[in-house]
Amino acid sequence: MSGRAAIIGGGVIGGGWAARFLLNGWDVAVFDPDPEAARKLDEVLENARRALPGLGDVALPQEGRLRFATTIAEAVAGAGWIQESVPERLELKHRVYAEMAGHVRDDAVIGSSTSGFRPSELQAGQALAGQIVVAHPFNPVYLLPLVEVVGSPANGADVVARACGRLTALGMRPLHVRAEIDAHIADRLLEAVWREALWLVTDGIATTEEIDDAIRFGFGLRWAQMGLFETYRIAGGEAGMRHFIGQFGPCLHWPWTKLTDVPELTDELIDRIAEQSDAQSGAHSIRDLERIRDANLVGMMRALAQTGWGAGAVQTAHDAARAAAAGLVDRVDDLADPAQPVLTLTRTVPLDWIDYNGHMTEARYLDAFAQATDRLMRMVGCDAEYIAGGGSFFTAESHVRHLDEVRAGAPITVHTRVLEGAGKKMHLWHEMRSGGRLLATGEHMLLHVDLATRRAAPPAPHVAAALARLADAHAALPPPEGMGRAVGAPR
């Protein structure tokens, strides 16, 4: 899904929204009167282009077109999604919405990045009230999937549903907040932790770094994949949440926190926090910290995708939705031309595939070919259900030729030929390219195995038939250069 988006306010959050839309194939118009807006947005986009493509396992679509509009009316004209990300001043937001009136498509969603205002406050007195919803994201918007969507009685049910659908198509996880409340859900939770942290610093119990350590090395990692309640459910052991509440519920009456009281933000406290924060992070520039943050988030979310958990499950679903559009299929019958080499992989080289030489490590060439083999297996019917039933293919021999280098952020594809597909054998030839460059070839011999005996055995008839169909179709192609070549032998 793609379209046209308008971003009103191109700061940290607005710039993140612009990157999210652009890298998912949307054309984006930005309005921001700041004379430095283009430079700031370009820096955000540079980080996004570096990090986001490596998050998923399916290549992103062609990047959309970016332009800067001179007026709000020009920016919103023809846009299907309008994201307002101006400073948190209600009168300013009202002026922005008033300037949009008469220039907005009837089916456009107007999302506000507000972290605190209720949608009814945003809509008050506005001609476009029915199209305005809260769409509160989290920084960096181009990586973190959560976006809180809040409507009001002024919105029809279709508006909220349309908003959630479009955000899902961007690889995000819309959380529909069922009732209006100041600061929505996530920021209220963050505010509670923030207040307690301020008291810990005020009372000299901990420094800013020690508080951050308590989060990032402990419960923060658990929260990242299970949240609060599921984490506590596990803490209750086999008896679950009921036991946990019975054991720790009385603690709520103990004077452990000061959440009902807030320390005064005196100059002294502000100076103390600022000095401690400088000591903690001052060796890095903000851009350095952003890149470190982005790399860490990509790594965590890719790890979560392997188990289909939390934010990783959102990315896995987004990849699956994009796979067909990218030309990937899961069945031989879905191939447009079975006589041609089959597209079995299209993706971008992620940051964690790069070695000390600045290019893709040799293990990742094989990893990419293994992913291509897995898709070919699914295409011939050796899918998860078939494997659960006791049959699969094991690789008996591989030969990879490294012909050219490729770096982080480069798009790569793998096309596969079936050289032999009879009896117990599946003989594959993979070619990896980036643009027009041939990067590597992989020749692999696999044997079908009975998983109960762990010995070679003929595949099921439907698998054998699909494999033979591809082998017969590809037999008409000329032999690939390098096929059967031994290590070190001349080309």
Cα–Cα distance measured from residue 77 to residue 114, given in angstroms and rounded to the nearest whole number: 22
Cα–Cα distance measured from residue 13 to residue 1, given in angstroms and rounded to the nearest whole number: 22
Cα–Cα distance measured from residue 432 to residue 274, given in angstroms and rounded to the nearest whole number: 50
Residue type, 69: A
Distances (CA, A) of 42 to 18, 54, 68, 292, 338: 10, 19, 12, 18, 43
Phi, psi dihedral angles at 136 (to 5 degrees)? -90, 110
Let me know if 51 is exposed, middle or buried by CB neighbors in 10 A (0-12, 13-18, 19+): buried
Residue type, 326: A
473 alpha carbon, distance to own chain's centre: 37
- Helix residue ranges per DSSP H, 307-425: 310-323, 362-379, 384-388
Structure letter (DSSP) for residue 354: B
- Say whether 11 counts as a known binding-site residue: yes
Give the pair of three-digit tokens for residue 70. Answer: 């001179």
Q: Which of 169, 163, 162, 122 is nearest to 145 (CA)?
A: 169
Buried b (16+ CB within 10 A) or exposed e, 288-327: eebbeebbebbebbbebbeeeebbbbbbbebbeebbeebe
- Say whether 12 counts as a known binding-site residue: yes
- Say whether 9 counts as a known binding-site residue: yes
- Say whether 14 counts as a known binding-site residue: yes
The count of C-alpha atoms lying within 13 angstroms of the C-alpha of 172, restricted to the half-sphere facing its C-beta, is 27
- Say whether 13 counts as a known binding-site residue: yes
The count of C-alpha atoms lying within 13 angstroms of the C-alpha of 265, restricted to the half-sphere facing its C-beta, is 7
Give the pair of three-digit tokens for residue 387. Answer: 């494997």
Sequence-ordered list of residues with C-beta below 8 angstroms from that of 314, at least 6 positions apart, any chain = 145, 171, 172, 173
Structure letter (DSSP) for residue 239: G
SS3 81: strand
Which residues are annotated as part of the binding site?
A: 9-14
Q: Can you say which residues are annotated as belonging to the binding site for NAD(+)?
A: 9-14
